[in-house]
Amino acid sequence: MKKTNKKDTVNLFFSAFLILAFVVCAHFFANFALGQSEVFSNVIQLFVYAVFGLLLFYATRVGDGKPVKRFSPLTLIVMVLPALYIMIASIASGMPLHDAFVVNESSLGLVATLAGVVFGYGVPYTFLSGYEMAEDEGENKEKLVEGGVEADLKAADEESSQETTETVESENDSEESTEE
């Protein structure tokens, strides 16, 4: 197990503070948006919640090491595109399900709010998995405690694989002896 050092504790504190501060700021932005037109109000609110999703991604996926870049079409199809549709449908009054995503003229429903957060989290998650530490070659070997459950399971797996190998070898030997 990795020991938690002081730097990790400080990073966790600032990540939690960042999320808490953004929730307070989002409340003020939402109150500001209530006084605007319906479309502008919904756009402001969706933007605030998408930024909240980005901050949530940052707070949960940062770390030491190299960023792991990848493209995940499944995340794009399952998370990002439906969230994008919900966000657009909550703004455009002519789209199907518009009434389901908007509570009244200037307030988004819960589904549209969560879609903004999912969109903000899903876009970077589609292209970046997070940060991972590069393991040293010496760390690749598993460190198991003697007499522990994991050590017993590994020993049992090794024994069964040896028995399987011995059985296959003995079957091959018997087949060779019968052919002669």
Query: How does pLDDT run across 60-115, given as a tens digit for each residue?
Result: 776 666 777 888 888 899 999 999 999 998 888 888 887 777 777 667 788 888 89
Predicted pLDDT of residue 80: 93
Maximum Cα–Cα distance for the chain, whole Å?
A: 95
Q: How many CA atoms lie within 13 A of 8 on its CB side?
A: 7
Identify which of 5-14, 91-100, 103-112, 117-126 has the greatest average pLDDT. 117-126
pTM of the full predicted structure?
Answer: 0.62
For 54, the 3-state DSSP assignment is helix
**Out of 2-16, 101-115, 151-165, least confident range:** 151-165
DSSP conformation class of 2:
P
Instruction: Please give the average per-residue pLDDT across 132-147, as a whole number.
Output: 53
Residue at 77: amino acid letter: I
Average pLDDT over residues 44-62: 84
pLDDT at 93: 80
- pLDDT higher than threshold 50 for residue 136: no
- Mean pLDDT is lowest, of 26-30, 49-53, 113-117, for 26-30
Lowest pLDDT segment from 21-30, 113-122, 140-149:
140-149
- Name which of 164, 165, 143, 168 is nearest 154 in CA terms: 143
Closest by CA to 59, choosing from 27, 21, 18, is 18
What would the mean pLDDT of 9-22 be, rounded to a whole number? 78
Q: 14 or 136: which carries more pLDDT confidence?
A: 14
- For residue 122, how many other CB atoms are within 10 A of its CB? 23
Residue 148: what pLDDT? Answer: 53
- Kindly tell me the sign of the dihedral angle through the C-alpha atoms of 137, 138, 143, 146: positive
Q: At what angle do helices 81-91 and 110-127 cross, to 10 degrees?
A: 140
CA 52, distance to chain mean position in Å, is 15
